Amino acid sequence: MRLLSVRLIISLILGIAAVSFGFSYYEVLNEKRALRADLERRAETLGESLAGNVGHLWNPGSEKELQHLVQQFGNREHLLGVVVYDRRGAVVAETPELAKTLTATPPAAMQAVSQDKEESSFARLDNLPVHILALPIHRQNEVFGSLAVVHDVSYIREQSLRVWRHTFFGVLTQVFLIVLITLLIVRWSITGPIARAALWMRGLRTGKIPFRQEVPDLDMFRPLAREVATMAESLNHARHAAENEARLREAAESMWTAERLSVQLRRRLADGDLFVVSNREPYMHQRNGTTLDVVVPPSGLVTALEPVLNACDGTWIAHGSGNADAEVVDAADRLRVPPEDPRYSLRRVWLSKEEEEGYYYGFANEGLWPLCHIAHTRPLFRAADWQFYEEVNRKFRDAVLQEIENVSRPVVLVQDYHFALLPRMIKEKRPDARVAIFWHIPWPNLEAFGICPWQRELVDGLLGADLIGFHIQSHCNNFLETVDRVVESRVDWEHFSVLRRDHRAIVRPFPISVAFTEDDGVEPGEPDFNVERATLLRNLDVEATLMGIGVDRVDYTKGILERFLAIERFLESYPGYQGKFTFVQIGAPSRTHIKRYHDLLAQVEAEAERINWRFQSGKWRPIVFLKRQHSHQQIEPYYRAADLCLVTSLHDGMNLVAKEFLAAQRRERGVLILSQFTGAARELHDALVVNPYDIDQTAEAIRVALEMAPQERRLRVGRMRKAIREHNIYRWAGNLITELCEVRLDANEDTQERLRTNVTVA
């Protein structure tokens, strides 16, 4: 930094001096030109006056009168004298002082006679700079001689030197002041922030501060700050990965990391590429006035899949739902994401409002969602919605086929219930593609699914995939029972596969998880949980000593109303916790223009207000309902500071909130209360498992969680954290894609020839 300051000072001095020298030189030239012009103008005025008088006086024998005339001009300012020459250049009359200096006839005097016009020149007489103006003398329209007016011009040089001296001292003062001010500005606005950023990066590199601590203010270098933050995060992740690798190697353990997944995928995919298809996109672009914002939608799907795409530089195909999404894509509707560190491609598919209303809000979320979750909400099936569902699946098929057109071995991973028809559509056009679909929601029993009027078409579409994944084995069993009843096929229960239309589909459970790769323990600089909890509650304007947390979309399957009733029963049954325990419910509004969801949001708000009105006192409230979207970074402090987390889903495929809460519990002190109707309950055996419909049981679980001994808390949380550490999102993705790549594609030559013919005709 000191070397930089010296360079800056020298550069400023040289730069300012050079610029000032240039301006000063220009100023001196202008001054010299002005003085010379003024001198020439005065000499011309004097010369014309004298030439007329000399012309009248010049007669034979008039030498004395001429001499007397020229002597009168011997003492004027800067005037050396006046000389009168005849036609041959002989002196007729001359100022005595000039006779000592001007010893020869100047050329200008002879030129004035010969050319009969005024001549002006600058010359030197005995090292004295002079200006000579020669004018012809006329008498009776005849050139009779010449008149020379000689001025001393040494004062012009002296004046120029004064200008140079004045400029030099002025420049010297300017350089000093400018350098001083510049150094102060650099010190205040550049050197200081850079030094703080350097200390921050050093602390991050040495592990003395957590990555969550924000980068110091670098307002003047905002793009640099973003790159520094991204680089710091990469360094942080690389350090953790290296430490984990060393620890695991020492302990002879096997753990999936992003680096291991990347190596695995590159080896498995070989010369193929990975394509993920989902309804929800990982990044939305929203135009708010003149500002273009990048929004990460709150979604377990995004949380689960982005590490996979980052690891293999794949392509994510999704519905472009942001109001400014079309502004940032290229001609092929693609862009690179994440914005701050592009690592994979996002291909956007455009849907009309009618298509989105019918396919997404209609058939998918008013039909399939309640049908599969069995949460006592009646599914609605409309023929018009089904038509839109088919149309949108075909539109996504076309997008997928465009993306894989020049890929020799494409691997396509379709996501969720929005695209049940898509696997069959893709395989009909590209039988060489390996296609998997992962069903993120439960698959209901045979009788429940039989409600759907288009169950046969949905099942047939799913069976077009090479691999069909669910969260847990019971969902696989339900699906195979449905297949056995609904379509003509051969179900192999021993190997969990289905043979239909000369194509075999394998059905497997793949419990999804979170990106948990950090080592155990507390990060350096992480605040004490009591301090963090007090800060969070103070920001919510609540006074309490114990805190619970719930994080959900406001959806009728999440059991939020049942959760609030359990909190009310807990406070009734154990009044000693009134004034001490506050439950923070982070609820992201979802699908609010569907009446069922709109009504539910109002019910949740009303229930929270009713319970608060009943129990609250002073600054204490039993329930704080945060009705807005929150990023994972905003939620994680609540996870860390909470004494317990309530996950009371009425029916859920997995529920990643439970795993995110445990991943944040580095101090191993928060208790998880988990619904028995979640897929996570099959893995997290040390949670307090409850029936969310049993209000008294859930209320009692809250008491047990708050009064649980610290040693038992650590034991329970430690075992669950170990489970999700070993079965993290990277392992989920690695197992899913590895199994898909190992699936043997149909080998029947007649079938392959028929499919290739279909592709050619299409």
Residue with the two structure tokens 């020869």: 104
Q: Which residues of 15-34 are buried (b: 16+ CB within 10 A; e: fewer)?
A: ebeeebeeebeeebeebbee
Give residue 751's pLDDT: 44
The pLDDT, as a whole number, for residue 216 is 58
**pLDDT higher than threshold 70 for residue 475:** yes
- 8 Å CB contact between 316 and 276: yes
How remote is the C-alpha of 565 from its chain's centroid? Answer: 42
664 vs 8: which has the higher pLDDT: 664
Strand partners, 499: 490, 504
Higher-confidence position of 136 and 144: 136
Predicted pLDDT at 250: 46
Q: Where are the alpha helices (DSSP H) in 548-655?
A: 560-573, 595-615, 632-641
pLDDT in tens, 95-125: 877 777 777 888 888 888 888 888 888 888 7
Q: Answer with the residue of higher pLDDT: 613 or 228.
A: 613
Q: Which residue has 């002025």 as its token pair?
A: 170
- The token duo for 372 is 């599969």
Mean pLDDT computed over 740-753: 63
First vs last C-alpha separation in the chain: 67
Q: Which amino acid is residue 582, in one-letter code?
A: T
Residue recorded with tokens 């200096």: 101
Segment holding 119, helix H or strand E: strand 119-125
8 Å CB contact between 309 and 274? yes
Q: What is the mean pLDDT of the chain?
A: 84
Phi, psi of 175 (to 5 degrees): -60, -45
At position 443, the amino acid (one-letter code) is: W
Name every residue whose Cβ is closer than 8 Å to that of residue 104 and which is 6 or more positions away in sequence: none
Average pLDDT, integer, range 554-565:
95
280 closest CA partner among 227, 321, 239 = 321
Find residue 123's DSSP bridge partners: 130
Residue 138, strand partner residues:
143
Rounded mean pLDDT, 754-761: 44
Instruction: Give 421-469 pLDDT, tens digit per residue.
Output: 999 999 999 999 999 999 999 999 999 999 999 999 999 999 999 999 9
pLDDT of residue 525: 52
pLDDT tier, 752 (very low <50, low <70, confident <90, very high otherwise) = very low
C-beta separation of 659 from 512 below 8 A: no
Closest CA to 377 of 600, 678, 654: 600
Q: Which of 74-78, 340-344, 758-762 has the lowest mean pLDDT?
A: 758-762
Positive or negative, the Cα torsion across 114, 115, 117, 119? negative
pLDDT in tens, 392-416: 999 999 999 999 998 888 999 999 9
Which residue, 348, 302, 352, is CA-closest to 329?
A: 348
Helix (H) or strand (E) holding 494: none
CB 648 within 8 A of CB 620: no
- Return d(Cα 74, Cα 76) in angstroms, integer: 6
* C-alpha–C-alpha distance, residues 107 and 744, integer Å: 110
Q: Are 430 and 410 in contact (CB under 8 A)?
A: yes
Distance of CA 54 to the CA centre of its chain: 89
Query: Domains in the chain and their CATH numbers?
Result: 16-152 (3.30.450.20), 259-353+390-509 (3.40.50.2000), 529-727 (3.40.50.2000)
- Please write the tens of the pLDDT for every residue from 12-62: 777 777 777 777 777 778 878 888 888 788 888 877 777 777 777 777 767
The residue that leads in pLDDT, 66 or 718, is 718
Give the least confident one: 130-144, 323-337, 544-558.
Answer: 130-144
Percentage of the chain beyond pLDDT 70 is 86
Listed range (133-137, 365-369, 713-717) with the worst mean pLDDT: 133-137
pLDDT of 224 over the 70 cut: no
Q: Which residues of 560-593 are buried (b: 16+ CB within 10 A; e: fewer)?
A: bbbbbbbbbbbbeebeebebbbbbbbbbbbbbee
Q: Is the pLDDT of residue 220 over 60?
A: no
Task: Report the residue count for the chain.
Answer: 762
Region 499-511: mean pLDDT is 95
**Cβ atoms of 687 and 657 closer than 8 Å:** no
pLDDT above 60 for 520: no
Query: Does the structure show a pLDDT above 80 at 705?
Result: yes
The closest alpha carbon to 348, from 364, 326, 327, belongs to 326
**What is the gyration radius of the CA atoms in the chain, in angstroms?**
46
Helix, strand, coil shares of the chain as percentages rounded to 5?
50, 15, 30
145: β partners: 86, 137
Checking if the pLDDT of 535 tops 70, the result is yes
Residues 6+ apart with CB under 8 A from 335: 328, 329, 345, 346, 348
User: How many Å apart are CA 103 and CA 344, to the nearest integer?
Assistant: 92
SS (H, E, C) 414-464: EECHHHCCHHHHHHHHCCCCEEEEECCCCCCCHHHHCCCCCHHHHHHHHCC
Name the phi and psi angles at 120, rounded to 5: -135, 140
In the chain, what percentage of residues exceed pLDDT 90? 49
* 673 torsion bin: left (phi>0), alpha (psi -120 to 50), beta (else): beta
Q: In this predicted structure, what is the pLDDT of residue 605?
A: 95
Of 65, 118, 63, 111, the residue nearest 87 (C-alpha): 111
Task: State how far the Cα of 623 lies from the Cα of 646, in Å rounded to an integer.
Answer: 13
E strand or H helix at 369:
helix 369-373
What digits encode the pLDDT tens for the residues 166-196? 777 777 777 778 777 877 777 776 667 777 7
d(CA 481, CA 586): 38
Flag whether pLDDT at 242 surpasses 70: no
What's the mean pLDDT in 492-519? 89
Q: Which residues of 152-161 are buried (b: 16+ CB within 10 A; e: fewer)?
A: bbeebeeebe
- Using one digit for the tens of pLDDT, what is the confidence trace for 569-582? 999 999 999 999 99
Matching residue, tokens 């190697």? 249
d(CA 302, CA 344): 14
| Strand (E) or helix (H) holding 81 | strand 79-86
Which DSSP category does 77 fall into? Answer: T
